[in-house]
């Protein structure tokens, strides 16, 4: 299913080897759950209260950027662009325009798959766990759950969907830029996650769990695409994105100040 040199395949192989030696498949999820519970009990309440009391100027900034963690602004444009270019490829496009359309389909498909799959995982977990949001902190505490509540958004706190989307998109950008801009991408994911606590919609443990879901889901999607060489491939142990080369024929024409014919 995945190329043996991808991160996901190597990680799974290492886990299975450790399990063969020390039976760890059961224990590491249990320790992760215990760690999140300890974090929730010790830090969720104090961190939420502290960030609620931040000065209004800082809070206004984080209220402004928090919507960047919504998935809609990524899913809708990439879906529309991908479908439009896929439809255009059924026409008799010229060589340069056809390759540009293929490039847009590949990039849109990769972004859409990464955000949609990570978001779907988070949506399912939210409704299974049913954790109360920080608006109920004084009345219900940090560990109140209403499992399998499908409709009441106020009991969909864990994990944070915005943090999931932000971290998944940060990894997508890292892949598209071939591992450039590490600092800016980390800062982007951190800022969106922090904003969810500042605006009072999530606890610290929600953000950490959402970040993990986004990172893990995006890595699996990336490795799946790389295994099938859908615009990227594994080179020297790293995934290298190559689909931007699809725009080179069109760019060569434009550099010559000549607009290429759209149709053959």
Tell me the average pLDDT across 160-182: 90
Which segments of 103-237 are extended strands (E)?
232-235
CATH number, residue 231: 1.20.144
Inside any domain, residue 263: no
Report the distance separating Cα 243 and Cα 90, nearest Å.
Answer: 20
* Contact present, 223 and 233 (Cβ < 8 Å): no
CA nearest 227: which of 80, 219, 254?
219
Inside any domain, residue 15: yes
Inside any domain, residue 27: yes
Cα-flanking dihedrals φ and ψ of residue 71, to 5°? -85, -20
Higher pLDDT, 255 or 133: 133
State the DSSP string of 178-201: TS--HHHHHHHHHHHHHHHHHTTS
- pLDDT tens digits, one per residue of 22-58: 666 667 777 888 888 998 899 999 999 888 888 887 7
Q: Report the mean per-residue pLDDT for the chain.
A: 86
Report the distance separating Cα 116 and Cα 217, nearest Å.
Answer: 10
Neighbours of 102 (CB within 10 A): 19
- pLDDT tens digits, one per residue of 48-102: 988 888 888 778 888 888 888 888 999 999 999 999 999 999 988 888 888 899 9
pLDDT confidence of residue 32 = 83
CA nearest 29: which of 42, 40, 41, 15?
15
Model confidence at 171, pLDDT cuts 50, 70, 90, reads very high
Inside any domain, residue 264: no
pTM: 0.88
Write out the residue range of the structural domain in which residue 198 sits. Answer: 7-255
pLDDT confidence of residue 172 = 93
Inside any domain, residue 79: yes
Inside any domain, residue 261: no
* Contact present, 142 and 44 (Cβ < 8 Å): yes
The number of domains in the chain is: 1
Tell me the average pLDDT across 8-28: 69
Write out the two tokens for 79.
């879906």
Inside any domain, residue 152: yes
- pLDDT tens digits, one per residue of 179-192: 887 778 888 888 99
Give bridge partners of residue 239 from the DSSP assignment: 234
Higher pLDDT, 179 or 260: 179
pLDDT confidence of residue 110 = 95
Inside any domain, residue 1: no
Question: Which helix (H) or strand (E) element contains residue 241?
Answer: strand 238-241
């Amino acid at each position: 299913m995945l190329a043996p040199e991808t991160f996901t395949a190597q990680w799974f192989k290492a886990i299975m080897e450790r399990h063969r030696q020390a039976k760890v498949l059961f224990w590491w999820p249990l320790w992760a759950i215990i760690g999140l519970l300890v974090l929730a009990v010790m830090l969720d309440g104090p961190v939420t209260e502290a960030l609620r009391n931040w000065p209004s100027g800082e809070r206004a900034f984080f209220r402004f950027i928090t919507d960047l963690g919504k998935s809609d602004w990524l899913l809708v444009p990439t879906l529309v662009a991908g479908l439009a270019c896929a439809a255009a490829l059924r026409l008799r496009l010229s060589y340069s325009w056809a390759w540009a359309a293929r490039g847009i389909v590949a990039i849109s498909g990769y972004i859409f798959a990464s955000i949609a799959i990570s978001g779907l995982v988070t949506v399912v977990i939210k409704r299974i766990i049913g954790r109360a949001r920080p608006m109920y902190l004084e009345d219900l505490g940090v560990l109140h759950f209403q499992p399998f509540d499908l409709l009441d958004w106020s009991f969909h706190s864990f994990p944070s969907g915005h943090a999931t989307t932000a971290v998944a998109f940060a990894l997508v950008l890292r892949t598209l830029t071939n591992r450039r801009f590490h600092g800016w991408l980390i800062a982007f994911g951190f800022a969106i996650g922090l904003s969810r606590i500042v605006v009072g919609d999530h606890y610290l443990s929600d953000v950490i769990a959402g970040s993990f879901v986004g990172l893990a889901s995006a890595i699996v999607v990336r490795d799946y695409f790389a295994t099938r060489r859908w615009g990227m491939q594994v080179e020297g142990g790293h995934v290298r994105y190559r689909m931007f080369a699809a725009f080179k024929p069109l760019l060569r024409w434009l550099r010559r100040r000549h607009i290429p014919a759209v149709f053959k």
